[in-house]
Chains A and B, each alone.
Chain A
Amino acid sequence: MDVATREKWNRAAGSFDLMAGHGPEKRWEPFKREFFSRMGEGRILFLAVGTGLDIQFFPERRQVVGIDISPKMLEKAQPRVDAYRGKLETREMDVHEMAFEDACFDQVFTSCTFCSVPEPVKGLEALRRVLRPGGELHMFEHTGSRYHPFRLMMNLMTPLTRRFGPAMNRPTVENVRAAGFQIEGVEHVFLDVVKTIHARA
């Protein structure tokens, strides 16, 4: 278990909804509703639950296992987990050391997660291990930009933001490829920074 990362997100849990619960969630609401509508009938892994802000966008009657490295985040998420009309269980777990059997999920969903996973390619390889062959990976992520001045801004902000939360300049699309996934589509939500990535194991 990555204790430093767990502690970082435990500290962030108290103010997380204040920072992310209003503006970002409202702004991304139409995109996230469409994104999570891809949740199918099979077994789904959702990484990372956080305070459960995204649960409101899950379609009803799905079978979802949500994991998060932070017990404080999961504690905050519990009322939203309880309110979900479907099967949703949460577990405290580090993506690098998931205690799931190989090929036991049909789909994996992530939402603004791989800006914070310390070893993103290893984390993605771990997701590929738990996905059945041909299983789907769907990611709603913010990444670095190819274009200046946005690229410069994000590179300058990252040393500060990663101290208390996410990195702003991750090459997540390239990381997904490096982890052995076949990318099926990338859609931009805001500039080339916020995007959805769809891939197969």
Chain B
Amino acid sequence: METRPYFVIGDLFSNCGVGALVGLAMAALVGPGWNMLVGMLVGMALGMAIALPFALGLGALFGAMETMIPVMTTGMVAGMIVSMGAAMQASGLAHAAELGALSGFGVVAATYLANAVLRRRTS
């Protein structure tokens, strides 16, 4: 498991930051008039599209695959969760950003856990 503070903080900063940004974008776009399934699919696709340039840029600072894969996943998850929520009921931008950042934190935790499990296995 990664324990070097620069990379741990970098992972959290990257994923929580991108998650919050995606959350804001989805809350601004999706509203209670939307079909929830359509909102979810649009959220996933747009979330990944928004995350892509950040994944590439932040990868230069914090590590290639170790940054790109979770940041892209955060874009997808944050986009999906915030859009579904926004399609059900109107939510404030601050709440959407918070939910996006929490999604990013969850993706970092899940990636660290998956890495700990997969590193014990070989292909």
B76-99 interface code vs A (CB 8 A; 1 in, 0 out): 100000000000000000000000
Q: Are B73 and A27 in contact (CB under 8 A)?
A: no
Give the number of residues in A that approach B within 8 Å (Cβ atoms): 30
A191 partner, pick from B48, B58, B63, B114, beta carbons under 8 A: B114
Q: Are B115 and A150 in contact (CB under 8 A)?
A: no
A142-B121 contact given A150-B73, A153-B73, A190-B115, CB 8 Å threshold: no
Q: Nearest B residue to A24 by beta-carbon distance?
A: B64
Q: Are B60 and A22 in contact (CB under 8 A)?
A: yes
Residue A75 at the B interface, CB < 8 A? no
Q: Are B63 and A27 in contact (CB under 8 A)?
A: yes
Looking at A3-11, A46-54, A56-64, A181-189, the stretch in contact with chain B turns out to be A181-189
Chain B, interface size: which category?
A: 20 to 34
- The B contact surface, by secondary structure, is helix
Residues on the A chain within 8 Å of B68, using CB:
153, 157
Q: Are A194 and B62 in contact (CB under 8 A)?
A: no
Residue A92 at the B interface, CB < 8 A? no
Residues on the A chain within 8 Å of B69, using CB:
150, 153-154, 191, 193
Q: Are A27 and B66 in contact (CB under 8 A)?
A: yes
Give complex CA distance A173, B64 in Å. 20
A186 partner, pick from B2, B48, B123, beta carbons under 8 A: B123
Give complex CA distance A147, B113 in Å. 14
B37-79 residues at the A interface, CB under 8 angstroms: 48, 52, 55, 58-69, 72-73, 76
Give complex CA distance A67, B62 in Å. 28
A27 partner, pick from B7, B48, B52, beta carbons under 8 A: B7
Residues on the B chain within 8 Å of A18, using CB:
60
Separation in Å of the B42 CB from the closest CB of chain A?
Answer: 16
Separation in Å of the A92 CB from the closest CB of chain B?
Answer: 25
Separation in Å of the A159 CB from the closest CB of chain B?
Answer: 12
Q: Are B73 and A157 in contact (CB under 8 A)?
A: no
Give complex CA distance A173, B76 in Å. 28
Interface residues of B (CB under 8 A from A): 2, 6-7, 10, 48, 52, 55, 58-69, 72-73, 76, 111, 114-115, 118-119, 121-123
Q: Nearest 5 pairs between A and B by C-beta?
A: A27-B63, A24-B64, A186-B123, A153-B72, A23-B63
Known contacts A22-B61, A157-B68; 7 additional CB pairs below 8 A are A24-B64, A26-B7, A188-B121, A188-B123, A192-B121, A192-B123, A194-B66
Interface residues of A (CB under 8 A from B): 18-20, 22-24, 26-28, 142, 147, 149-150, 153-154, 156-157, 160, 173, 185-195
A-B contact pairs, 13 of them (CB 8 A): A19-B60, A23-B59, A26-B7, A147-B114, A147-B118, A149-B76, A157-B68, A157-B72, A186-B122, A187-B122, A188-B122, A193-B69, A194-B65
